[in-house]
Amino acid sequence: MFNTTDETAAPPQPPAATMLQMIAGFWVSRAVWAAAELGLPDKLPTPRTADDLAKELGLHGRSLYRLMRALASVGVFHEHADGRFENTPLSSTLKNDAPDSVRALARSELGHCHYPSWGEILYSVETGKPSFDKVYGMPVFEWFGKNPERAQVFNQSMSELTNTVEPAVLEAFDFSDCGTIVDVGGCFGSLLIGILQKYPQLKGVVFDAPSVVEGAKPKIAAAGLTDRCTTVAGDFFKAVPAGGDTYIMKHIIHDW
């Protein structure tokens, strides 16, 4: 129960004000995308001015300052009194080498891959068809096949998404008796690597499209799991690797 007599509680916000925040929410999202796309957090090992960053990146100084000031207002970057900006815990998640990095996720979801498709949401509601196909003229994974650089960002974003949910998955489920696990649509193998590291008695197979699963090999090697984890390329609409004791899928079924 809320204590309605608490004089320190903030007064309820009018519904129109709450809706205004929802309407303008994409302003912040796109500002985050711009910072991620430009790699701004990686350029701030020490505090720097927007003008300094703009000269390095070939940008308009005053406009970059306004972008960074806007982000600082929501905790992404901190502005010093002398106009220099530094990273905060939020902006640090947009750094390439951060252990909890979501830079690729921000670039994929808010940039060239998904964001334009949301502009055609009414098309999906009216037809039941993916708006991505209307915007780009082809299904998403066909488009990725023709745009490998964007596909690489998307694949990395899926690994980042896995990293955010992996601790909860490992905490919630006991994999100890799962034998050989086949991760169908396992991308770069992030989830399977986490499982195998926690359960040294298990073995695993990362299964995904040929262009994707190649990216799992160096990550498996870096984790020291080449003796317990292999990769298989293929199309799960046609077949999946035989011989597994457990088959897992994460963030796969919703696509189809």
Please tell me the distance from the alpha carbon of residue 205 to that of residue 169, in angstroms, as a whole number.
18
CA of residue 55 relative to chain centroid, distance:
29
Q: Do 41 and 112 touch, CB atoms closer than 8 A?
A: no
Please tell me the distance from the alpha carbon of residue 153 to that of residue 176, in angstroms, as a whole number.
33
* 80 is known as an active-site residue: no
Q: What is the DSSP letter of 254?
A: G
Please tell me the distance from the alpha carbon of residue 12 to that of residue 48, in angstroms, as a whole number.
39
CA of residue 170 relative to chain centroid, distance:
19
Task: List the one residue out of 244, 242, 204, 194 whose CA is nearest residue 226.
Answer: 204
Strand partners, 204: 181, 229
Please tell me the distance from the alpha carbon of residue 42 to that of residue 64, in angstroms, as a whole number.
15
DSSP, collapsed to helix, strand or coil, labels residue 46 as coil
Please tell me the distance from the alpha carbon of residue 64 to that of residue 72, in angstroms, as a whole number.
12
Cβ partners under 8 Å of residue 80, min gap 6: 47, 86
The residues annotated with a catalytic role in the active site are 254
